Structure 1
Amino acid sequence: MNKKIPQQLIVDAPVCPIYEEEQKRPRWRELQNEYYIVDPGCGHAINYLVWNTNSTIKPSSASTYSTHLYQFVDFLHSMGVTVCSAELEHVQQFFKYLSDNGKREGTLSLHKTSITNLYRHVDIHLGHEPNLRWDYIREFIKPSQFRTPPPIEREPISKEEIILLIENLNTQRERLVVQIALEAGLRNSDIRGLKINDIKLEEKYLDFYNRKSNIWQRMPISGELALLLRHWLYVGRESTLVDPENDHLFPGQKHEQLSGGYLNSIVTEAAERAGIQEVIGKIKITERQKVSMKTDKEYREMHKVTLHSLRHTFNQLLKDAGVPSDFRSAALGHSSPEITKKYYEHDDDNYDEVIGELFRGLQLGI
């Protein structure tokens, strides 16, 4: 199959029989506003997202799942079939299409998970009988069998690069986003989800819900960050607030919280201004994505310095400071409940001191 869907195969898109009905669900509208969920163009997929977001699908993953399902449904419709009328060969063609367009094996695995779970949901919960069985997808679709580029490895940035990055941030909000990522190792979704009550200024720590690991975590913060947060909470935040009832630390203009794309652009653009940005990989943009993204670019660039690379930097800084690997794992939310418990029973005063020394004035020992 060609990288681009042959024009002769593009037909009038079929209509999912329950699409209009599922679109009207009040909970569906709430999810779209709260988690930036994409409309997949299929009622079965909408029903799956409504049922499973906040249960089997973590909120931080809901947007990714919806985007993957949108791409799958859009591909099926271009072939003249729906989710329920598709056969295994259509799914195989979709994965060939992904690999031909430069998607990596990890991305194909995520697509397989979302598609398999969709068909399982349709079979078990909706009582419909699709032509394709979900266990066939699980058994016969092997991402490792497709030709894919090697994975892109994210590396931490150096202490000197951190200073340059900080110097090229434009606003107080940008400085806060970056410093929270550096001091607490939070993911994009965790930063966006922070609420005012999560910030404990006097005690110098913040609580956050790790959406990927489904656990609450408490992270110490430096006096420098506490001062920045105090000024933001009592002065700066008001200038960005549209809804007085919004209790997010970083409220959005149209949504309750800022978008993930915007938070990442804070870091990537500052790194570009600082002269420390590099392109470490490219992902091909499909013809249909060009239309939806309103771009004529052939590739989407993967950058060295991103919000997620600051998470790797946080881990490296703690490692360099002598913080043991199991404590670092717990701080990153990667560990088992037993290790997390051990982390919280660690000498908190010592750990707080490490954080305070590391980030005092953001000199980082330079």
Structure 2
Amino acid sequence: MHNQPNSPTISPLRQRLIDDMNLRHFGHETQRNYLRDIGRLASFLGRSPDTASADDLRRFQIWQQSEGVPVPTMNSVVSALRFFFNTTVDRPDLARRLVRLAQPRKLPVVLSRQEVTRLLDATTCLKHQAALAVAYGSGLRVSEVASLKVADVDSERMLLRVERGKGGRGRNAMLSEDLLTLLRQWWQVGHRQGVMRRDGWLFPGINTLRPISTRQLHRVVVEAARKADVDKRVGLHTLRHSFATHLLEDGVDIRVIQVLLGHAKLNNTALYTKVATRTVRSVTSPLDRLGLFKMEESAPDS
């Protein structure tokens, strides 16, 4: 979201907020969400959000709750408003007044390896298959998959460069041999079709000067799951969850997985220990070691 500073349709306050987000390399989705959420406060107040008082913020949050706004949405608004008051208008006293609500953390939906195979095979074109394979094979977020450029594929070091991860943090993601083979096939097809350039997007959208949208990627994975008869609620993030869980089940150290996922906190990665069923099944219960309830072998027939 790189708006022109001198656009007559943008207020100075909005432009300052956009500049603050651009300076910190916030992604397009994050910027759009922050502008929307801060706009919610402005609509509630009926005036500019920088004129809010501590009591205004309290009334706003109480109103959201009374309107049945989901807890995750309310917390997203808190994140946007904290950035606005801390950074754009330099009112940290107001940022501290915003209450983040506790919410039960749901376990992520994880696909089996067989389900992932069926899903990838059910895609309708090579571009879509390659995009979903990146999400599963490298553990990328949907926005990170969409933002990849051809130049981000480092075949010498076998890495994918993620320039703008969550919070503007860049990192290197793993690039497997099979994934590299698939991406090379997609490059050959896309280049022949005239939709891919060496300095362009790895997964271009309908307008090849822009990347594929996250909404389109979501539609692709939902349709592939339907065709593959995967009876689970699936989004592109499901493939990222499956990547982490399958690595954990294969014995990869959880701190390595944390780095591959780009998690700032280990607690976020530790969630996958709760859904790594192969890890659970590989452990012998201490009850079994007592040997109290073993079935007696029947005597062979004479």
For residues 154 and 96 of structure 2, what CA distance do their matches in structure 1 show?
A: 46
Q: Deviations over 1:237-269 (max 9, x none)?
A: 553728x68511112234521211111221122
Q: Deviations over 1:78-97 (max 9, x none)?
A: x5322244444443343234
Change in Cα spacing, 1:245 to 1:45, as seen in structure 2 (3 Å) is: farther
Change in Cα spacing, 1:202 to 1:137, as seen in structure 2 (3 Å) is: closer
Q: Secondary structure of the residue that 1:334 maps to in structure 2?
A: coil
Instruction: List aligned pairs for 1:138-177, cutoff 5 A.
Output: 138-139=96-97, 141-144=98-101, 150-177=104-131
Q: Check the 8 A contact 1:237/1:250 in 2, yes or no.
A: no
Q: Check the 8 A contact 1:105/1:151 in 2, yes or no.
A: no
Alignment partner of 2:216 out of 262, 270, 278 = 262
Amino acid at match of 1:114: A
Please state how far the C-alpha of 1:121 moved relative to its aligned partner.
4.0
Q: Secondary structure of the residue that 1:69 maps to in structure 2?
A: helix
Q: What is the alpha-carbon root mean square deviation over aligned residues? A: 3.3
Instruction: List aligned pairs for 1:182-221, cutoff 5 A.
Output: 182-201=136-155, 204-212=158-166, 214-221=169-176
Change in Cα spacing, 1:70 to 1:269, as seen in structure 2 (3 Å) is: farther
Please state how far the C-alpha of 1:113 moved relative to its aligned partner.
2.5
Q: Check the 8 A contact 1:240/1:253 in 2, yes or no.
A: no
Q: Check the 8 A contact 1:161/1:276 in 2, yes or no.
A: yes
The answer to whether 1:328 aligns with 2:257 is: yes
Query: Counterpart of 2:89?
Result: 123
Query: Counterpart of 1:136?
Result: 94
Q: Secondary structure of the residue that 1:53 maps to in structure 2?
A: helix
For residues 149 and 185 of structure 1, what CA distance do their matches in structure 2 show?
A: 25
Size of the alignment, in residue pairs?
262
Query: Counterpart of 2:33?
Result: 64
Q: Check the 8 A contact 1:172/1:236 in 2, yes or no.
A: no
Please state how far the C-alpha of 1:182 moved relative to its aligned partner.
0.8
Please state how far the C-alpha of 1:270 moved relative to its aligned partner.
1.6
User: TM-score, structure 2 length as denominator?
Assistant: 0.73
Please state how far the C-alpha of 1:57 moved relative to its aligned partner.
4.1
Gaps of 5+ in 1: 1-22, 30-38, 125-132, 279-303, 337-366
Amino acid at match of 2:57: V
User: TM-score, structure 1 length as denominator?
Assistant: 0.61
Structure 1 stretch displaced more, 192-201 or 79-88: 79-88
For residues 121 and 332 of structure 1, what CA distance do their matches in structure 2 show?
A: 28
Change in Cα spacing, 1:246 to 1:56, as seen in structure 2 (3 Å) is: closer
Q: Deviations over 1:282-336 (max 9, x none)?
A: xxxxxxxxxxxxxxxxxxxxxx211111111001111121111111111111258
For residues 157 and 143 of structure 2, what CA distance do their matches in structure 1 show?
A: 24
Query: Counterpart of 1:47?
Result: 16
For residues 277 and 184 of structure 1, what CA distance do their matches in structure 2 show?
A: 24
Over alpha carbons, which structure has the higher Rg? 2
Change in Cα spacing, 1:189 to 1:24, as seen in structure 2 (3 Å) is: closer
For residues 315 and 56 of structure 1, what CA distance do their matches in structure 2 show?
A: 26
Gaps of 5+ in 2: 266-302
Please state how far the C-alpha of 1:160 moved relative to its aligned partner.
2.3
Structure 1 stretch displaced more, 168-177 or 46-55: 46-55
For residues 71 and 78 of structure 2, what CA distance do their matches in structure 1 show?
A: 10
Amino acid at match of 1:220: L
Please state how far the C-alpha of 1:122 moved relative to its aligned partner.
4.7
For residues 203 and 24 of structure 1, what CA distance do their matches in structure 2 show?
A: 38
Q: Check the 8 A contact 2:138/2:173 in 1, yes or no.
A: no
Q: Deviations over 1:152-181 (max 9, x none)?
A: 442211122212212321111110011111
Alignment partner of 1:95 out of 57, 61, 72 = 61
For residues 276 and 160 of structure 1, what CA distance do their matches in structure 2 show?
A: 10
Q: Secondary structure of the residue that 2:171 maps to in structure 1?
A: strand
Change in Cα spacing, 1:81 to 1:272, as seen in structure 2 (3 Å) is: same
Q: Secondary structure of the residue that 1:276 maps to in structure 2?
A: coil
Change in Cα spacing, 1:312 to 1:222, as seen in structure 2 (3 Å) is: same
Query: Counterpart of 1:251?
Result: 204
Task: Using the aligned pairs only, state the percent identity.
Answer: 21
Query: Counterpart of 1:231?
Result: 185
Q: Deviations over 1:131-161 (max 9, x none)?
A: xx5513423x3233xxx87454422111222
